[in-house]
């Protein structure tokens, strides 16, 4: 099975870029095109600009807290492969978790940021004991892909328990 959220990742990047462009255009129109030069709805131009910037700031904080990742997962063959990278600005590090399916021990899902983010933690059997991988945000996966991936993990857990792992 192969799972990727490439379409969602591109869509999220486009949404953020369009939002930033819209903010720049709106603020530019308010100040440089003399739109709203008089009091509107009982608010000054500065108050309206502050309100608009605050709304955009909340939008970006929401996406920052969710920590969306591009995800590629496959369990085809004898290997477990999870590749991911953050969609946050200036986060260029690409990560991969790759090992034999027989080494897969367990996984857990941690919900944080007031339920806005779901993080996956993977445990691997090694000769020295259990290795715990850093959390991977799976928030950007749609529900069906997330359920497929977790079902695949559960099958690996059961298979490895039956094989004496």
pLDDT tens per residue, range 136-154: 999 999 999 999 999 999 9
Q: Is 118 helix (H, G, I), strand (E, B) or coil?
A: strand
Residue 77, Cβ density class (10 Å: 0-12 exposed, 13-18 middle, ≥19 buried):
exposed
Residue-level pLDDT at 165: 55
Residue-level pLDDT at 144: 95
Residue-level pLDDT at 41: 75
Residue-level pLDDT at 90: 82
Residue-level pLDDT at 164: 61
Residue-level pLDDT at 162: 73
> What is the enclosing helix (H) or strand (E) of 18?
helix 6-32
- The count of structural domains within the chain is 1
Residue-level pLDDT at 57: 95
Using 50 as the pLDDT threshold, list the residues of the chain that sit under it.
none
Residue-level pLDDT at 126: 93
Residue-level pLDDT at 50: 94
Residue-level pLDDT at 39: 67
Residue-level pLDDT at 155: 92
Q: How many helices (H) and strands (E) does the chain have?
A: 3, 8
* Residues of the domain holding 31: 1-165
Residue 153, Cβ density class (10 Å: 0-12 exposed, 13-18 middle, ≥19 buried):
buried
Residue-level pLDDT at 24: 94
């Amino acid at each position: 099975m192969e799972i990727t959220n490439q379409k969602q990742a591109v869509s999220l990047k486009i949404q953020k870029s369009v939002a930033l462009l819209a903010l720049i255009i709106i603020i530019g129109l308010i100040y440089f095109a003399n739109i709203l030069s008089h009091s509107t709805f009982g608010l000054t131009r500065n108050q309206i600009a502050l309100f608009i910037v605050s709304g955009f700031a909340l939008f970006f904080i929401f996406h920052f807290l969710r920590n969306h990742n591009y995800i590629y997962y496959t369990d085809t063959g004898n290997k477990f492969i999870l590749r991911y990278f953050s969609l946050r600005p200036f986060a260029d590090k690409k990560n991969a978790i790759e090992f034999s399916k027989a080494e897969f021990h367990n996984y857990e899902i941690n919900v944080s940021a007031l339920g806005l983010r779901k993080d996956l933690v993977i445990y691997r059997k090694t000769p020295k004991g259990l290795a715990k991988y850093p959390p991977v945000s799976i928030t950007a996966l749609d529900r069906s892909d997330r359920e497929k991936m977790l079902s695949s993990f559960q099958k690996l857990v059961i298979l490895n328990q039956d094989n004496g792992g």
